[in-house]
Structure 1
């Protein structure tokens, strides 16, 4: 009887609709695709093969994907490590590095997909794994892109090949903001890092990947109608995107990391909405001078805070992109002397990492000083927590401007223009967030967006129905 039960479960797993999911390296890419895979398994009855690029995987990535508590229909498939030692160096920039890692790791993709049983009805990739289009075309597997940043960045990215053809010189030297068809213009100072120097490999790799986006059978977006209504309308209706042509667009967000059972006892002792969470993402790092100024700004503000600190790097604002979760910090070695003693019970200094979703969801949390990465932005929105925008790299300046000027749920920490934000500016921003009228206004907006984010993921909500339409498409292909 036991054997028959096992066989029945095995047959049920085989005949469930099967899709594969492939993120590029880096926790910021792995996490949203992993959460999408979980949603397909738990909410839509799929069996998912999650293809894990193991080359230079961080400790945090390995911990996330190899948890013993994964649902039985979510299978982690580790790709063999690739030797990239002769192709990258310490000077190789992040997008170039992860693109090279993905390119070498995916040399085995066609053979791996061919061995999966049953054959996947679709492969879902992120932006930096577009080499998969070629393998999937030969195997007749439809390939969908999960574009994990904002729809505004997608619109700009689809427009970039035309800019590349028509504009001479550097985009950052243009006299006016970049007019993205149907969308808000982008200030040249907000352009993402990958397009600020057209002569380097970083730009060439980015242009390569996004120029292949029209090859996708569809584009999933980690956003929803109420957050980016103008841009989503443009992507679907504007003549420019229709002529490319842009694949069907499916807003399915906010898809964020689920809150676990972790709690921070210190937070339980604080008044409601009184604490500022300060953390700059899994890859974000500050210079030594900026860490000192941030420490003094927090101390001078006299406000409560949790600060996730990380060893400073004067060379690179994303120094821990490939090593998230593996650094062991001693904050006393780089924070101002006596800092922790002076702040006492008012502040909590946490080395390297914190349970961000749990803290954002706690009643005592009243603000979030963030790098404005899209994953963190969505986590803040989903929990109704307003933000102090402190962008560091990639498209984060674009996100910060959108959150401050268009969405209205953030204030700026201050303009650094590549320099250091001073302690007085930081003190002012923290006080504004937790004490001032402007802080109350952005808090009201954040709570309004939280409600809309909750509604869009419910049965009948726009994002829920968008993912249902895709799930039905993949399920229908199983009967063919």
Structure 2
């Protein structure tokens, strides 16, 4: 029967691991249903994915390597945001746009039923999908609140200055605090609003990506912000499919992994719920002043800590940051500074870890909720500030106080925030609420149902199109 014919879905994430991992998680869930998935990226990115698939998924999930375009002045061996300092990310954007033709060539012979694309290649929904007769879905790893804040393709959006983004827009029809701080918007303004590097802003890419798609897929669940999910659909006039929070599967490493064995040996010696895990994701890199205040704050707190420290953003980063002189000697035995890759999910899952000092990236936040670890937020980029404040309102984490204009913070505020969430009676609510939220975020039966609904819709619409 035609009904039983399996789908072929192509995945096209942006070149950041905070984007690629959710695309991979969704790819695996779809492959488990017996549908074919082609995950497309560059060779280096695919080789770095935690892609050791169970044997039963291998026939259904393929990794398609499309060579990285070699553009003038592009740093060698850089294929993802983790390989570049923030000011060189525009090079990566130019390279991604240059993939338009090779991607089109692949899709022309792919027999794909649908392309799930990230915010950056808006041209998939605008040109390639319609030209090839392939359904397109804008898969947003941004939370629904962020998408609603960004807004629709509409002349209603008159925001032109940094200050315009520090208040909720008028198309949000209910009371909301969703907005960016002055310092958060100022940091990303040139790329997000002005689009200086490629001639089209990140906000317009997101708007066009949603507007030109056949439908929208959200990394979200109805039990957490249903009014925002509905608003995204209303703003873009699209059918919206929440497909769950895509909690990370145990991809990190095996129990016999040497790095994990070393980390586990140290964690095993620490008291239960005593260690603060510190990590700011693959993109965020604190400035020297920020790094110094974080270090002294950790030192003053006297809490055990495990800090995954990124002092250089790729080989082309000449601005290498340094810990305060004598920091590691003074905290020896109490804290570990780790300068290479670390298995985050395994660390968060260890019983000695009591809290997570994080940049508030959504994937990391979901992993913390998954592991029932209360968070201390220190946002750096994009919508991390929005995420932090939403989760702070839910009492599953606490934002380190900062100067609202320049974003500066002190070692004292770091120390006090860590102690509040980790040990003080006043912070007990954060440690308890995180357990309640896990029941909403990690729900396999619901997520199966949501993905089945999405796939069923896709199959029925494919049949209609092909019958015509």
Q: Name the TM tier (shorter chain).
A: 0.7 to 0.9
Matches of 2:180 and 2:442, distance apart in 1: 34
1:270 matched to 2:270:
yes
Name which of 30, 34, 46 aligns with 2:24. 34
Q: Cα offset for 1:98?
A: 4.0
Aligned twin of 1:78: 65
Aligned twin of 1:205: 201
Aligned twin of 1:109: 103
Aligned twin of 1:178: 169
Matches of 2:188 and 2:155, distance apart in 1: 16
Residues 361 and 160 of structure 1, relative CA distance in 2, 3 Å threshold: farther
1:251 matched to 2:242:
yes
Matches of 2:230 and 2:441, distance apart in 1: 18
Q: Cα offset for 1:423?
A: 1.3
Aligned twin of 1:8: none
Name which of 125, 134, 143 aligns with 1:150. 143
* 3-state DSSP of counterpart to 1:127: coil
1:256-309 residue CA offsets vs partner (Å, 9 max, x unmatched)? 431243442222222222211101111111122222221111111111111111
Q: Cα offset for 1:408?
A: 1.8
Aligned twin of 1:122: 114
Matches of 2:41 and 2:290, distance apart in 1: 35
Matches of 2:166 and 2:376, distance apart in 1: 28
Q: Cα offset for 1:477?
A: 5.7
Matches of 1:129 and 1:39, distance apart in 2: 23
Matches of 1:281 and 1:108, distance apart in 2: 30
Name which of 206, 226, 229 aligns with 1:229. 226
Query: Is the 8 Å Cα contact of residues 371 and 389 (structure 1) preserved in structure 2?
Result: yes
Residues 454 and 27 of structure 1, relative CA distance in 2, 3 Å threshold: closer
Q: Cα offset for 1:348?
A: 1.5
Query: Is the 8 Å Cα contact of residues 109 and 132 (structure 1) preserved in structure 2?
Result: no
Q: Cα offset for 1:87?
A: 8.5
Residues 173 and 18 of structure 1, relative CA distance in 2, 3 Å threshold: closer
Matches of 2:166 and 2:12, distance apart in 1: 39
Q: Cα offset for 1:174?
A: 7.0
1:9-38 residue CA offsets vs partner (Å, 9 max, x unmatched)? xxxxx9643211111212122111111111
Q: Cα offset for 1:327?
A: 9.9
Which aligned pairs between 1:361-376 and structure 2 lie closer than 5 A?
Answer: 361-376=349-364
Structure 1: 5+ residue stretches without partners: 1-13, 313-319
Which aligned pairs between 1:300-315 and structure 2 lie closer than 5 A?
Answer: 300-311=300-311
What RMSD over aligned residues (CA atoms) do the two structures have, in Å?
A: 3.1
Which aligned pairs between 1:433-472 and structure 2 lie closer than 5 A?
Answer: 433-455=421-443, 458-459=444-445, 461=446, 463-472=447-456
Structure 2: 5+ residue stretches without partners: 77-83
Q: Cα offset for 1:86?
A: 6.2
Residues 91 and 414 of structure 1, relative CA distance in 2, 3 Å threshold: closer
1:128-154 residue CA offsets vs partner (Å, 9 max, x unmatched)? 111112111111110011100110011
1:244-265 residue CA offsets vs partner (Å, 9 max, x unmatched)? 5431111112114312434422
Aligned twin of 2:80: none
1:148-175 residue CA offsets vs partner (Å, 9 max, x unmatched)? 01100111223474454x34x4142578
* 3-state DSSP of counterpart to 1:129: coil
For this pair of structures, how many residues does the alignment match? Answer: 434
1:400 matched to 2:375:
no
Residues 401 and 27 of structure 1, relative CA distance in 2, 3 Å threshold: same
* 3-state DSSP of counterpart to 1:363: coil
1:189 matched to 2:181:
yes
Residues 91 and 275 of structure 1, relative CA distance in 2, 3 Å threshold: closer
Which aligned pairs between 1:11-50 and structure 2 lie closer than 5 A?
Answer: 16-42=6-32, 44-50=33-39
Query: Is the 8 Å Cα contact of residues 165 and 179 (structure 2) preserved in structure 1?
Result: no
Aligned twin of 1:424: 412
